[in-house]
Amino acid sequence: MVYVCFFAAICASGCRSATERPNIIFILTDDQGYGDLGAHGNPFLRTPNMDQLYHESVRFTNFVVSPSCSPTRAALMTGKHEFRSGVTHTVTGRREMSLQSTTLAQVLRSAGYSTGIFGKWHLGSNGAYRPEKRGFDISVTSVDDTQRSHFDPVLLFNGEERQTRGFRENILFDEALQFIENNKEGPFFCYIPTYSPHAPLIAPQEHIDRNDGNVFYAMISNVDDNIGRLMQKLKELQLDENTVVILINDNGGTWGVDKYNAGMRGCKGTPWYGGTRAFSLWRWPGQLEPRNIEDLAAHVDLLPTLAELAGDGLREEMKKSLDGISLLPFLTEEGKALSDRMVISHKGRWPDGEGEVEAHKYCFCSVHWNNYLLVRSQTCGRDDCRGECRVFQRVIDGSTSTGYSKKADFHYAVNPRRLWALYNVKHDPAQQHDLASEYPEIVQKMSGTYEQWWKEVFPHIHREAEDPRWSQDYEPKQEK
Ligand SMILES: [Ca+2]
Ligand SMILES: [Zn+2]
């Protein structure tokens, strides 16, 4: 049923031949922040391979992702806000991406691409939700995406368990390089969502030594080495010119925000700019001129962009159902301005239970529009909330250390309830000057968009866990 839909959705007027279409490698790092990059001025961390990629890429400097893992992945895979595919958390029951969603991998496979995923899927570990059932020919993932074995992990190869040896990121890149070599005639789509540098903080000793004992930075440094290996392999296979390499991080900064966060307030799981701003690097030698694009772009744009790159794009009716737009004209044509748009972020993660979704409508959400950020950083106000309001309640109660930060009153700041705050994040990335009373008409326009958006997405905030298709045909073993 789903297959019929997306075969019809793509190649409506015939695909271009495979030789004209580039291979696509998409690397998504887990819990690395915008500031955790040498090229962004981090004085404590060396990332020579990511920096080289940065200098050879088109860079979206105002690029928005969701505040945490599964939500960003759902948006990347569907081209829609994650609530539209029912993803509202990172845990079982609320991270399963609706089976009615057509995935990026399905779109590219329909266009003739070989598809592989090597890393953290995090959109459902069981049955029909697994990546090899959702458009990937080859899938190498951890047994359950909450599993934290960084060394000697048991991995699933298209659902088959295999004991492996070594550091997980090195193994996943080895598998990705093999996939690239096997498919060098192209076109291929190689998705590498790393597990690093997400906690627990564990890294090979040589990287820990190289980073003066900072294990978080050591994990990034290991990914950086692997990206170096990947770029070398592309040159060896003479695929360098015909391959688009994309590097994005999946949410705001974590263990590095107190050291360097590019001047921004906010970290993973907050509605502040530092919670959802990501780097977004696009390298295609000879085709894309390295430069910055400051217009607002977002994770939901990946699917329509790659669909256009892979063929003749998507049919109008599918395009209309997406929140994303194709970035291809802006990538290839300098000086072309992106259309005026708003992008909405919401933390999600409300507790389970009757009425909880509505009770958290305004809890930790923001609206992006050009350089404006409209923020509601507020709890639901109930003392007995079992959700993540508790983290912010601690800050209200005077704690200066919570979550990822010992400057919690800064990164986890809470605003007065029932008020939107407005910031110009280009001039004020630390979000110190609330412009709401100065520009009431802008607040009204942006908050009006939020109200309309909530009405639209609310019916999609559902759980498929009770659905019979959510089968338990794979039972993950307990981690050792
Ligand atoms: Ca993450
Ligand atoms: Zn609450």
Gap from CA of 24 to ligand 2 centroid (Å): 41
Which of 91-100, 260-269, 324-333: highest mean pLDDT? 260-269
Per-residue model confidence (pLDDT) at position 475: 36
Instruction: Calculate what percentage of the chain has a pLDDT beyond 70.
Output: 91
Gap from CA of 36 to ligand 1 centroid (Å): 13
CB 388 within 8 A of CB 359: no
The model's confidence at residue 31, banded by pLDDT at 50, 70 and 90, is: very high
Q: Where would I find the beta strands (DSSP E) of 240-341?
A: 243-249, 277-278, 280-283, 291-293, 297-298
Gap from CA of 407 to ligand 2 centroid (Å): 22
Taking the CA of 32 as reference, the closest ligand is 1
User: What angle is formed at CA 229 by the lines to CA 301 and CA 195, rounded to 5 degrees?
Assistant: 55
Q: Is 383 exposed, middle or buried (0-12, 13-18, 19+ CB in 10 A)?
A: exposed
Distance CA 286, CA 241 (A): 7
Q: Where would I find the beta strands (DSSP E) of 268-321?
A: 277-278, 280-283, 291-293, 297-298
Given a cut of 70, whether residue 17 has pLDDT beyond it is no
Q: Which range among 148-157, 181-190, 214-223, 233-242 shows the weakest confidence by mean pLDDT?
A: 148-157
Per-residue model confidence (pLDDT) at position 462: 67
For the chain, the average pLDDT equals: 91
Distance CA 142, CA 154 (A): 7
Given a cut of 50, whether residue 182 has pLDDT beyond it is yes
Residue 417 vs residue 102, higher pLDDT? 102
Taking the CA of 347 as reference, the closest ligand is 2
For the record, the structure tokens of 252 come out as 């705001």
CB 14 within 8 A of CB 242: no
Per-residue model confidence (pLDDT) at position 401: 94
CB 39 within 8 A of CB 249: no
CA dihedral in degrees (390, 395, 399, 404; nearest 10)?
80
CB atoms within 5 A of ion ligand 2 belong to 380, 385, 387, 389
Gap from CA of 388 to ligand 2 centroid (Å): 7
Span 236-276, pLDDT tens digits: 999 999 999 999 999 999 999 999 999 999 999 999 999 99
SS3 316: helix
Rg (CA), the chain: 21
For the record, the structure tokens of 400 come out as 């200066």
The model's confidence at residue 320, banded by pLDDT at 50, 70 and 90, is: confident
Taking the CA of 193 as reference, the closest ligand is 1
Distance CA 296, CA 340 (A): 8
* Residue 396: other Cβ atoms inside 10 A: 14
Is the backbone of residue 280 left (phi > 0), alpha (psi -120 to 50) or beta?
beta
Per-residue model confidence (pLDDT) at position 51: 98
CB atoms within 5 A of ion ligand 1 belong to 30-31, 69, 250-251
Gap from CA of 181 to ligand 1 centroid (Å): 29
Taking the CA of 351 as reference, the closest ligand is 2
Per-residue model confidence (pLDDT) at position 6: 40
Distance CA 121, CA 261 (A): 26
* Residue 128: other Cβ atoms inside 10 A: 16
Given a cut of 90, whether residue 29 has pLDDT beyond it is yes
Gap from CA of 341 to ligand 2 centroid (Å): 29
Given a cut of 80, whether residue 145 has pLDDT beyond it is no
- Residues with Cβ < 8 Å from 57, sequence gap 6 or more? 245, 247, 281, 282, 283, 288, 290
Gap from CA of 251 to ligand 1 centroid (Å): 5
Helices (H), 66-167: 69-78, 104-110
Distance CA 382, CA 364 (A): 15
